[in-house]
Structure 1
Amino acid sequence: MLESNISERWQSEEPLDLMTMVLDVVESLAGLAARDEAERELFALERALAEELEDMVVPVHLLPCLYSGLGLAGDSETFFSIDNCLMNRVLVRREGIPVSLGILLIHLCRRFGVDAEGINFPGHFLVRIRSEEEGTVIDPFTGRHLSRHEIEQLLRGARGNLARLAPEHLKGTSDTEILVRLLNVTKAAYINEQQFGKALGCSELLLRLKPDCPFERRDRGFLYEQLGCGQLAADDFEFFIEQRPDDPIADVLKAQIAGLDLSPKTLH
């Protein structure tokens, strides 16, 4: 029933609130109790932030109150962990990675009347906050305003020393694309922990956002292969080959299919 409800909500023409979709992810991957936990913690954080901001100019003081006053922070010690991806755990710990903290920052900005949008920057998710006509780029990992030089350094860290900052690097992105980025990071974290069933859950959610995307189907095929579901893996690999016959990996996938056990399996 949950998967059906998510499909209906995510495929509706009505734009969905970013945090609502993120909580759908929590519920799908970790259960209803985890979603309830996230909603309680989010309400508590919103209430605490409102108290911190009382009688203050919100656009000026929101970041200091959130990061210094309420302890929101980036987790650099266990960066690629599930705790930094699932919003219930991010809210409980008040720690995360750029994309999860960025989602939380965008939500809180909008909740308190500040215009904010995500930037799908290479290697490091960023947030733009607008006050009147001006826009400031924020690193959600630290809560700091970034100079152009600092942004260029982030780009070179992700793309190499020859990379040059261009306008397209700082374009705002849609809430759906932010969710895609979160799901991809979450999938990678589950794969890193060899929780392939949970990673498959991320792939299924990604395919609700990007139906029939050949690359998502290819990646789901690799997860099916890890889970011993040869026929399902072959179906996804064949879809990729049909859609992207000139891609260099197509020949690799043909060899993969030849080596799969195609006998029926039950996926639990």
Structure 2
Amino acid sequence: MTSALERLNELVRGPDQDLDLAEAALLLATTEYPALDVPAYLAQLDELAARLSERLPHTADLEQRVVSLNEFLFEELGFSGNTDNYYDPRNNFLNEVLDRKLGIPITLCILYMEIGRRVGLELEGVSFPGHFLVKFATDEGDVVLDPFAGGVPLTEEELVDRLEDTYGQHRIDNSALPQLLAAASKRDILVRMLRNLKVIYLHHERFEKALDVINQILLIGPELAEEVRERGELYERLECHRSALLDYQRYLRLEPQAPDLADIRNRIIALEPTAHRLN
């Protein structure tokens, strides 16, 4: 029988367009929930989409499908953003979002995209600064939606206001918006979700759990130098000196002109005697 890790590796090694985002998100959750029944949760998504599809007219256009999706998820089923406990780690696990009907922007977007895909909506994730969003294309241009706020559409002015809130600037150049609204790959979505979780675990000094999350990130993106360096720092903190040394060396191979080159070299020099004694 294929393990969750083997199946996840199979998914992320294939073409991005073929990656099942919901399945990958659920497989990632098995590190925290080893007994998680991934097929059962995928069947739940199918069932929700089937219920929504039954009430959609065959002639429903994109806008009508979006309105129906919003009404179904947020009004009828009661999914919402967890504003009361935003940094609860459970908000980052799709199974918990389905069970508790609470999430953060990125997990609600994954839910939104996956239900939408099943009813014929071609939705894309948007790694907007500070707040993950979704969009879909129309003849008049892209429409950007915020599932965390019930799937409301956002105007250009509202998007600029959000940028100003994020960066603390009074004037944002609107010409930057198209780049910031570019579609995120499915791998990028998974990595951003995991980075949210990593930050929470690090804040609470749950270093072993943070290490598990970084290992998942590097399964998806082995070339992410910043994650390799951060894993090295965690290994060093946990006194896994040889593993820390190997990650620092790998980091410099990935980033030979790294801005923290001198610091990492010093760490390598300090770790080498201890690491070699452990061989």
- Normalized against structure 2, the TM-score is what? 0.83
Displacement of 1:47: 5.3
Q: Deviations over 1:159-195 (max 9, x none)?
A: 2314323210111121111111111112222222322
Q: Who is 1:228 aligned against?
A: 239
> Match of 1:173, SS?
coil
Q: Who is 1:116 aligned against?
A: 123
Contact 2:22 2:42 (C-alpha < 8 Å) held by counterparts: no
**Root-mean-square deviation over aligned CA pairs:** 2.6
CA pair 25-174 structure 1, distance change in 2 beyond 3 A: same
Q: Who is 2:210 aligned against?
A: 199
CA distance in 2, matches of 1:214, 1:111: 35
Deviates more, 1:63-72 or 1:247-256: 247-256
Which of 5, 13, 21 is 1:3 aligned to?
5
Contact 1:155 1:164 (C-alpha < 8 Å) held by counterparts: no
> Match of 1:211, SS?
coil
Residue identity opposite 1:107 in structure 2: E
CA distance in 2, matches of 1:255, 1:89: 42
CA distance in 2, matches of 1:212, 1:248: 17
Q: Who is 2:22 aligned against?
A: 19
CA distance in 1, matches of 2:230, 2:101: 31
- Normalized against structure 1, the TM-score is what? 0.87
Displacement of 1:240: 1.6
1:164 aligns with 2:173: yes
> Match of 1:101, SS?
helix
Residue identity opposite 2:226 in structure 1: F
Q: Deviations over 1:37-58 (max 9, x none)?
A: 6446535644554566589843
Which of 149, 153, 162 is 2:161 aligned to?
153
Q: Who is 2:113 aligned against?
A: 106
Structure 1 unaligned runs (5+)? none
Contact 2:23 2:38 (C-alpha < 8 Å) held by counterparts: no
CA distance in 1, matches of 2:199, 2:37: 20
> Match of 1:32, SS?
coil
Moved over 6 A (4+): none
Which of 67, 71, 94 is 1:64 aligned to?
71
CA distance in 2, matches of 1:29, 1:156: 36
The residue correspondences of 1:1-268 to structure 2 (distance < 5 A) are 1-13=3-15, 15-33=18-36, 35=38, 38-39=41-42, 41-43=44-46, 45-46=48-49, 49-50=52-53, 57-130=64-137, 134-142=141-149, 143-161=151-169, 162-165=171-174, 166=176, 167-260=178-271, 262=275, 264=278
Residue identity opposite 1:248 in structure 2: P
CA distance in 2, matches of 1:195, 1:52: 45
CA distance in 2, matches of 1:178, 1:30: 21
Q: Deviations over 1:107-166 (max 9, x none)?
A: 111111112111111111110034565531111211211111110011112223143232
Displacement of 1:4: 3.0
Residue identity opposite 2:22 in structure 1: M
> Match of 1:163, SS?
coil
Number of matched pairs: 265
CA distance in 2, matches of 1:246, 1:185: 27
> Match of 1:136, SS?
strand
Displacement of 1:259: 4.7
Deviates more, 1:209-218 or 1:148-157: 209-218
CA pair 53-73 structure 1, distance change in 2 beyond 3 A: farther
CA pair 12-40 structure 1, distance change in 2 beyond 3 A: closer
Q: Deviations over 1:17-43 (max 9, x none)?
A: 111111111123421326466446535
CA pair 243-131 structure 1, distance change in 2 beyond 3 A: closer
